[in-house]
Amino acid sequence: MEEKVEQRKNDYFYATIPKGSLVMEPHCTCDNPLDEKYFCEKCNKQCLCKDVLCDNETTLEYVNNLIKNSEMFKGFTAVLAPRK
């Protein structure tokens, strides 16, 4: 039986903290990884990532702190979403 994958509503970053540094990988709503210009070749559209999916509680806490204290992250939202 095939597992149904929930379609995302927004473009997003997938955040991890390997080796102590925050890494945020941009993805399109279709889950396609994005290049440095945030353009999705699959959908042929320019993306805007404001949602941050975090791999664990530590990353979520770190990102929420950035959202709260950094002007650069104003308007972002973060949720816990470990990769399967």
This prediction has a pTM of 0.86
What pLDDT sits at residue 7? 57
Residue 3 included in any domain? no
Residue 19 included in any domain? yes
Residue 6 included in any domain? no
Residue 40 included in any domain? yes
What pLDDT sits at residue 3? 34
Residue 4 included in any domain? no
Domain that residue 63 falls in: 12-78
- E strand intervals along 38-76: 39-40, 45-46, 51-54
Domain count along the chain: 1
What pLDDT sits at residue 82? 84
What pLDDT sits at residue 83? 77
How far, in Å, are 1, 16, 18, 49, 80 from residue 39 at the CA level?
33, 22, 25, 11, 25
Residue 33 included in any domain? yes
Residue 35 included in any domain? yes
Residue 7 included in any domain? no
Q: Residue 28's CB: how many other CB atoms inside 10 A?
A: 22
In this structure, the strands spanning 45-46 and 23-27 are unpaired
Series of mean pLDDT values for 10-residue runs along the chain (84 residues): 54 96 96 95 96 97 97 95 80
Q: What is the DSSP letter of 41?
A: T
